[in-house]
Amino acid sequence: MSRRCELTGKGPMSGNNVSHAKNRTRRRFLPNLQDVTLQSDVLGRSFKFRISNAALRTVDHRGGLDAFMAKAKEAELSVAARKVKTEIQKATVA
């Protein structure tokens, strides 16, 4: 399982540990990933995602999974999230 957010595409970043003596060693900054279940109002189903805490806050801010998926870019979404987005789009059009 990759350390990548399924909704925003956020992944590990690299940087340096810097000691008091200014010695630098490489390190990784990992995203704060959580396993969550999000409810779709349009489909009446729930979906499990592994998303970052920042993405979870964005979903809440936009008003739920359906509103988030309406504005989400296809390139940032995982394969499973793209399928959910197309299902939501088909349900809202019909």
Structure confidence by residue, pLDDT tens digits, 55-71? 999 999 999 999 999 99
2 within some domain: no
Residue 39 and residue 49: Cα distance in Å, rounded? 11
Residue 75 and residue 63: Cα distance in Å, rounded? 22
Q: First vs last Cα of the chain: how many Å apart? A: 35
pTM, full prediction: 0.87
4 within some domain: no
| Mean pLDDT computed over 75-94 | 94
6 within some domain: no
Give the pLDDT confidence score for residue 94 in this predicted structure. 75
Give the pLDDT confidence score for residue 2 in this predicted structure. 85
φ, ψ (nearest 5 deg) of residue 31: -70, 155
Residue range(s) defining the domain that contains residue 56: 13-93
32 within some domain: yes
8 within some domain: no
Domain with residue 17: its CATH number is: 2.30.170.40
5 within some domain: no
Give the pLDDT confidence score for residue 93 in this predicted structure. 86
Q: Per the structure, how many domains does the chain have?
A: 1
